[in-house]
Amino acid sequence: MADNVCPHCGHVNLKRAVYCFECGTALEQNKPIKGMKPRHQTELDDTIEINIKDTDPQLGVPPSIQEIADARATKELAAQYHDFLKCLRCGTENLPTSEVCPRCGATLMVPDEHYGLRLVVSARSSVGQVRSNNEDNVGIWARGGIVLALVADGMGGAAAGEEASRLTKEAVQADFTGALRGSEILQELTEEEVQQKLRDALYHANEAVLDKINEDKSFQGMGTTATIAFVRGNRIIVAHIGDSRAYIVDGEHGWTHQITDDHSFVEVLVASGHITREQASIHPMRSVLYRALGQVDAAEADLYTQYLKAGDCLVLCSDGLTRHLEAEEIGEIVRRVSDPEMISQELIDLANMRGGEDNISVVVVKAVQDDSTIPLEKLIVINIEDERPPKSSDNLFQTAQFGTFDLDDILNSPDEDNPEA
C-alpha cells in the first residue's frame, strides 16, 4: 500500500500518488508528467500552454523537510485550521481565491464558460471543546473552475481516526491530481465517468485504510466517513459513506435540503418509524455506523446529483456540526452571511459555543454569477426562417435583431414596391 516514498521529504505516499502529498515533488516510480515546470523536474509539453508567473523565484522550490515538519506540527497543535486550495494539476497549495496556480500555471477558480458561475470556497476544521486531538480532515481542490471537496471524519480513538481520515484525503488527491489521473480532461468527462472516478477514489481510500490496519494491528478498529463533492458548471455530484453530510442551501427560495443519507443505526430506526428525529438526536447509538471506510473489503458509496445556480451554497460537514446545529440553522447562517470564509467560521463558532462535543469540520462552496460571462440559459434563440424580414434597403438596419445576412444580397435585391429600382 504505502511504499511510494518521496525522494525529497521522505513522506510515505500511497502507491497511486503522482506527486508527494506533503511537498509536491514528482514521485520517481511514476512516469514523468509532461506539462510541469522545474518543481517537478520534467520537460514542458508543447501541447500544454503554461503561463508561469515569475514574480517570485522561490515558487518553484519545494518546501524543506523542516518546513513540512513545522507546518504539520502547527496544524496538529492548532485548535482550528484553515485548509488551503490545492491545484489538481500539481497538488500545490493556494489561497482559496486563487485563479491561477503559481507553480504550474493551471487555472483554478475561474468562472464556468457555459453557465457563468464562479465558485467561492472555504474549508475549516476545529478540534472542538472536548476532544484533545482532531480526527477530521477536510480538503478542497480545483482545476479550470471545477471544485473537488472532501470531509472525512475519522474514528477509532487517538491517532487511529486521524490516520484513517488522512489516508482518505491522500487517496482522493492521488486519484484526481496530475495528468496521469485525468486532471486535464475533467471538463470532458461524462457524468457517469465522474461518478465512477468518485467511486474509485473511495474504493482506493478504503483499501488504504484496510492495508494500514493489516500492517499495524494497533490501528485495529479505525475507520472514517467520507463525503466528496465534485462541482462542475451547474451540477454537483456527491459520493458518500458514513454520517458526514452534504447540504444545498437555495439562494433564491431559502430552503435547506440534506443531499446525503446517514449510514447510522439511528437513521435506520428513524426511517422505519421506530424512533422520532428528536429521539435520534439523544440516542446512545447515534454515532454508531453500519457503513464506513475501513470496515469491510468493499465499502459501497451512495451517489447523488444536484443542480446548482447562482446564489446556491453547498455545505459539507462532519457530525460534530450537525450534533449542535439543525439544518434550518445552517441554512439561516448561509443566507445571512455572503462570504464562504465567514460562513464556515460562524458555523464552527456556533457549534463550539453550544458545547463542541466532537471535532467540527465544514467545507463551503458557493456559486456566484460572474458578470464577465453570459449564461446560456439567458440567451434567446430565434427562428430566423420564421422571423426573416423582407429584403429591402428600408429594412437594412432592422436585420440585426433577426440574424446575420449578406449585405450585398440585401442592397442588390429588387424592391417589391419599385420593380424598376
What CA–CA distance (Å, rounded) separates 268 from 246? 18
- Measure Cα distances from 377 to 113, 159, 386 in Å: 12, 50, 21
pLDDT at residue number 387: 37
pLDDT at residue number 373: 58
What CA–CA distance (Å, rounded) separates 201 from 168? 9
Crossing angle of helices 340-353/327-336, nearest 10°? 140
Q: pTM for this structure? A: 0.81
Q: What is the pLDDT of residues 27-64, one digit of tens each?
A: 865 554 444 433 333 332 333 333 333 334 444 567 77
Instruction: Report the DSSP pairing between strands 80-82 and 117-126.
Output: antiparallel
Of 149, 96, 202, the closest CA to residue 363 belongs to 149
Contact, 139 vs 86, CB < 8 A?
yes
For the CA atoms of 243, 249, 250, 251, the dihedral, rounded to the nearest 10 degrees, stands at: -160
pLDDT at residue number 406: 47
pLDDT at residue number 57: 40
Instruction: Count CA atoms closer than 13 A to 55's CA, side-chain side.
Output: 5
Contact, 354 vs 318, CB < 8 A?
no
Crossing angle of helices 191-215/158-176, nearest 10°? 140
Top pLDDT among 119 and 4 is at: 119
**Strand locations in 84-225 (E):** 85-87, 93-94, 117-126, 136-143, 146-155, 223-224
Does position 414 have pLDDT exceeding 60, yes or no? no
What cell numbers appear for 404 in the block?
A: 446575420
Question: What residues does 142 pair with on adjacent strands?
Answer: 87, 147
Contact, 306 vs 255, CB < 8 A?
no
What CA–CA distance (Å, rounded) separates 345 from 367? 18
Q: What is the pLDDT of residues 273-329, one digit of tens each?
A: 888 877 877 787 777 899 999 999 888 999 999 999 999 999 999 999 999 999 999
Question: What residues does 91 pair with on adjacent strands?
Answer: none
Q: What is the pLDDT of residues 256-289, one digit of tens each?
A: 999 999 998 888 888 888 888 778 777 877 778 9
- Measure Cα distances from 192 to 134, 189, 195, 317 in Å: 34, 8, 5, 25
pLDDT at residue number 143: 97
Contact, 11 vs 19, CB < 8 A?
no
Q: What is the pLDDT of residues 15-37, one digit of tens each?
A: 999 999 998 888 865 554 444 43
What CA–CA distance (Å, rounded) separates 147 from 120? 9
Q: Which domains, ranges and CATH numbers included, belong to the chain? A: 79-369 (3.60.40.10), 382-412 (no CATH)
**Angular region, 62: left φ>0, alpha ψ -120 to 50, beta rest:** beta
Contact, 124 vs 151, CB < 8 A?
no
Other Cβ atoms within 10 Å of 108 Cβ, number? 26
Q: Output the DSSP codes for 208-241.
A: HHHHHHHH-GGGTT-EE-EEEEEEETTEEEEEEE
Other Cβ atoms within 10 Å of 419 Cβ, number? 7
What cell numbers appear for 217 in the block?
A: 494491528
